[in-house]
Amino acid sequence: PVAIIECLQDIPCDPCVSACPVKAIKMKEGITDRPLLEFDTCTGCGLCIPKCPGLAIFVINMKHNSGMATISMSHELLPVPEKGQEVTALDRAGKVVGKAKVVRVVNPPGYDHTAVVTIEVPAAQINNIRAFRV
């Protein structure tokens, strides 16, 4: 597994940097730069996901099952899905890509109402799916 950062704005923001226990996320020059991920260092732990206020960090795992992959992402809406539940996978524009299965939900108090939900999707769609609808 590895994190993917899709931060599209140069704004003062760096909580992902301090969240990373292996220091795989760095700012190029200053706090308004977009974060850079050192893929070889990233362990895919996902601790950066709930810390991103822009919901712009995902962890993908292409080695989940044959033909299937997982994507872990922030979810701040109610209801929070449950493990085993079927959800609708969406692309960046909010268009339906297909169905997905929730395989993990992590929502401790320390995540401040930001659940990290992992869904199983066809591996061919892993780069298109960036959200889901319950």
- Tens of pLDDT, residue by residue over 80-123, are 999 999 999 999 999 999 999 999 999 999 998 999 999 999 99
Instruction: Answer whether 88's CB lies under 8 Å from 133's CB.
Output: yes
Dump pLDDT digits (tens) for 8-19: 888 889 999 999
Catalogue the E-assigned strands of 1-134. 2-5, 25-27, 35-37, 57-65, 68-75, 86-90, 96-106, 115-122, 131-133
pTM score over 0.75: yes
Tokens 């940097």 — which residue?
17
Architecture of domain 2-133: 2-Layer Sandwich (3.30)
